[in-house]
């Protein structure tokens, strides 16, 4: 399952990602943000929060969050264009799991991304 975050140059925003059912058998989630021109080196410029429900959306007990910094990030002399995080999803045989999320930015950022659940 792939939940895309379309590429756009976005002013500071708060964006909700819709509640989506997670199929049985799925056990791994990856959150990825593709970075283009980002200002404010050294500052946190974006937060992506993902919430998981195990009871069809009645409660959202599992919250995962990661933050991204501004500027150009390099590793071994090469520019890193994607910030990502992966984690294991419990209760892989359940048919009552759901995911939802939000993206909050504090600067104008050019980005896209995805939440991939496999």
Tally the residues of the chain. 118
Please, what is the average pLDDT of the chain?
89
The 10s digit of each residue's pLDDT in 92-107 is: 889 999 989 998 999 9
Kindly state the average pLDDT of the residues 7-33. 90
Indicate the domain borders of the chain.
2-117
The 10s digit of each residue's pLDDT in 67-82 is: 988 988 888 999 889 9
Level-2 CATH architecture, domain 2-117:
Sandwich (2.60)
The confidence band for 57, taking pLDDT boundaries of 50, 70 and 90, is very high
What's the token pair of residue 50?
């993902």
Contact indicator for 20, 1 with CB cutoff of 8 Å: yes
Determine the pLDDT at residue 77.
92
Determine the pLDDT at residue 92.
82
In angstroms, how far is CA 110 from the centroid of its own chain?
15
- For 57, list phi and psi in degrees, rounded to 5: 95, 5
Quote the strand ranges of 26-108, DSSP E. Answer: 28-35, 44-53, 62-69, 73-75, 78-80, 82-88, 97-105
How many C-beta atoms lie closer than 10 Å to residue 19's C-beta?
A: 14
């Amino acid at each position: 399952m792939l939940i895309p975050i379309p590429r756009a140059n976005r002013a500071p925003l708060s964006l909700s990602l819709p509640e989506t059912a997670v199929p049985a058998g799925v056990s791994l989630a990856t959150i990825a943000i593709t970075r283009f021109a980002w200002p404010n080196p050294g500052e946190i410029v974006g937060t992506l929060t993902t919430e998981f429900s195990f009871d069809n959306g009645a409660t959202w007990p599992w919250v995962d969050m990661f933050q991204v910094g501004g500027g150009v990030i390099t590793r071994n002399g090469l520019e890193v264009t994607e910030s990502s995080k992966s984690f294991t999803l419990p209760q892989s045989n359940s048919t009552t799991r759901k995911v939802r999320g939000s993206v909050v930015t504090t600067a104008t950022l050019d980005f896209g991304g995805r939440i991939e659940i496999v």
